[in-house]
Structure 1
Amino acid sequence: MDIIHYLLEPLAFDFMQRALIAAVATGIVCAILSCFLVLKGWSLMGDAISHAVLPGIVLAYLAGVPLMFGAFGSGIFCAAATGYIKDNCRVKEDTVMGIVYSGMFALGLVMFSRVDSDQHLTHILFGNVLGITHAELTQTLVISLLVSVIILVKRRDLMLYCFDPAQAKVLGLSVKLLHYGLLCLLALAIVASLQAVGVILVIAMLISPGITAFQLCRSFDRMLIVATLVSVFSCIAGTLVSFYIDAATGPCIVIIQAIIFLVVQMKVSYKRRRQSLQAKRSALL
């Protein structure tokens, strides 16, 4: 009864109800997308876009438009700039992404420091899901639902593109459309996650569930399910933990995801080591 009491007590507060709904919605869309990012090897791309949205947020505030439009536009600009520079110079893609995203992030910090706004830099960088409003919650739910539906409907094409772009092109799929479509979905997912975990910690939510599920699953569909379950559990547990220890919600969610990954990794490593020893013993016999 005490455990049930501790689980249900936070739900008596409206802000906790909104926080849990926003965290779960964000966790689901990030988990689904993380499977494709892990398969494609785009961990750094997610990091780049998440940091690059800061200048767009500042410009959107100055223009008096919703921050999501500025963040989305800035993220797409970062992805397009990275692709253009990579295609027109001999520098490798990971180096280009490092230059572009660090430059745009620094630009955003300078712009933010020069603009007198009611936005708190800590909330932008690390999220403030406990302070989410009804309007922001609606925005998060709509974006999360849209991105999740598009990914699930086109998951076969996206999976083939991430696994083998050459084969996807042979089968008649538009590789360029899938490439930029996935980048747009990534930018939208980051926009949906800003309120929950901010621009810095969102990369963890875009990688941890997918890499955890990758260690456990042999099929991609099962990987999607396991990643979603891991992410949802982390979001709920992290939000409840942050309520009781009076800590930031985003970091609590990310810490729990990291703990789950470490536990899974140790279990997988132990299993492989045991199988290796058994194989050696069988060979000796």
Structure 2
Amino acid sequence: MNPIELIVEPLSYGFMIRALVTTVVAAVVCALLSCWLVLIGWSLMGDAVSHAVLPGVVLAYVLGLPFAIGAVVFGFLAVGLIGAIRDTSRVKEDAAIGIVFTTLFALGLVLISVTPSQTDLNHIVFGNVLGVSVADLVQVVVLGAVVAAVLLAKRRDLVLYAFDPGHAHAIGLSPRRLGALLLGLLALTAVVALQVVGVILVVAMLILPGATAQLLTDRFSRMLALAPVLSAVCATIGLYLSYWLDAAPGGLVVVTQGAAFAVVYLFGPRNGLLARFRRSTTKPVLDAVVHGERL
């Protein structure tokens, strides 16, 4: 089978086309948000919110509401509970995050187990991108467009908030509101990525693209361009691999993104492990040469 057939054959199926569009949209949106999560140091918070939305999504299903509503409500509930535990007890923030997100995630699993449904709600946990319907695809595209539009529209304010919240406050911006905005977008993004990788692996799509782009550039504007491109390419490769290997698509999407990070971590032109090793071994030689010339 030639390379063209390898690419074209999966696209002869409608479910693969829907899966590809859904995966790429989710990858791009997660990558955009991941730039801020990595920059601010919210990786653990991203993990907490992405898991904590599970009971909200299940309750939204039971009540016949859009998943996004339940996700946002429980996303903010998780953040509020984390802050309350941290501020009113001796428990530190990392422990508070672990307590809240594991408890809410477990609650979501319980709700799934007792909720009568004609569909398998376990797909919320593990993802089911190959079963995406047209309605699911529309929801993903709409939510993804909303998140991307808000991130790009508020890009300058959010960058200032990430680098210097004090300066943002001094010029009239509200760091609290900007933080709440990011958390709301995080909850919406979790809903977008649910279809692809499920609740468990959402955090990987929210962290890996930004972390990989950060190793390639020191400029945030370039991160915002590199992360979505890398994420979309990895997501496409992962989905194609799942088709040809008959393996879990969500898992392969994340494995591909992890492999991309490993390659950049090792062989990155500036911040890669080998590049830093070469600089560390070359510098003493140059210093010795310069020192000898001075003598």
Shared fold per TM-score greater than 0.5: yes
Q: Deviations over 1:5-29 (max 9, x none)?
A: 1011111111111000000100110
Structure 1 residue 68 displacement after superposition? 3.0
**Does the 8 Å CA contact 2:54/2:108 hold for their aligned counterparts?**
yes
How far apart in 1 are the matches of 2:167 and 2:43?
22
SS in 1 for 2:39: helix
How far apart in 1 are the matches of 2:89 and 2:3?
58
Runs (5+) with no aligned partner, structure 2 = 290-295
> TM-score, with normalisation over the residues of structure 2?
0.93
SS in 2 for 1:207: helix
**Does the 8 Å CA contact 1:125/1:200 hold for their aligned counterparts?**
yes
Structure 1 residues 251-270: aligned runs within 5 Å: 251-267=251-267, 268-270=272-274
**Does the 8 Å CA contact 1:239/1:252 hold for their aligned counterparts?**
yes
Match of 1:100 in 2: 100
Structure 1 residues 106-125: aligned runs within 5 Å: 106-125=106-125
Query: What stretches of structure 1 move > 4 A for 4+ residues in a row?
Result: none
Q: Deviations over 1:202-257 (max 9, x none)?
A: 10000000000000101101011111111000111111111111111110100000
Structure 1 residues 234-273: aligned runs within 5 Å: 234-267=234-267, 268-273=272-277
Structure 1 residue 66 displacement after superposition? 2.9
Runs (5+) with no aligned partner, structure 1 = none
Match of 2:293 in 1: none
Match of 2:155 in 1: 155
Match of 1:274 in 2: 278
Q: Deviations over 1:174-219 (max 9, x none)?
A: 1111010110011111111111111011100000000000001011
How far apart in 1 are the matches of 2:208 and 2:218?
17
**Does the 8 Å CA contact 2:242/2:252 hold for their aligned counterparts?**
yes
**Does the 8 Å CA contact 1:55/1:74 hold for their aligned counterparts?**
yes
1:283 to 2:290 alignment: no
Match of 1:7 in 2: 7
> TM-score, with normalisation over the residues of structure 1?
0.96
Query: What one-letter code is carried by the residue in structure 2 that aligns with 1:63?
Result: L
SS in 1 for 2:156: helix
**Does the 8 Å CA contact 1:72/1:191 hold for their aligned counterparts?**
no
Q: Deviations over 1:123-164 (max 9, x none)?
A: 111211110000010000000001001101111111111122
Match of 2:221 in 1: 221
**Does the 8 Å CA contact 2:50/2:186 hold for their aligned counterparts?**
no
Match of 1:34 in 2: 34
**Does the 8 Å CA contact 1:15/1:132 hold for their aligned counterparts?**
yes
Query: What one-letter code is carried by the residue in structure 2 that aligns with 1:261?
Result: F
Structure 1 residue 121 displacement after superposition? 4.4
SS in 1 for 2:53: helix
SS in 2 for 1:69: helix
Q: Deviations over 1:49-97 (max 9, x none)?
A: 1111121122223223233322232222112222233233332222111
Q: Which has the larger radius of gyration?
A: 2
How far apart in 2 are the matches of 1:151 and 1:90?
35
SS in 2 for 1:18: helix
* Worse overlay, 175-184 or 57-66: 57-66
How far apart in 1 are the matches of 2:182 and 2:92?
20
Count residues in correspondence.
285
Structure 1 residue 108 displacement after superposition? 1.4
* Worse overlay, 119-128 or 94-103: 119-128
User: What's the RMSD between the two structures over aligned residues?
Assistant: 1.3
How far apart in 1 are the matches of 2:162 and 2:43?
13
Structure 1 residues 22-101: aligned runs within 5 Å: 22-101=22-101
How far apart in 2 are the matches of 1:283 and 1:132?
60
SS in 2 for 1:173: coil
How far apart in 2 are the matches of 1:88 and 1:183?
22
How far apart in 1 are the matches of 2:76 and 2:14?
34
How far apart in 2 are the matches of 1:157 and 1:85?
29
* Worse overlay, 180-189 or 68-77: 68-77
How far apart in 1 are the matches of 2:245 and 2:58?
32
How far apart in 1 are the matches of 2:190 and 2:197?
10
* Worse overlay, 80-89 or 160-169: 80-89
* Worse overlay, 5-14 or 78-87: 78-87
How far apart in 1 are the matches of 2:58 and 2:33?
26
Query: What one-letter code is carried by the residue in structure 1 that aligns with 2:14?
Result: D
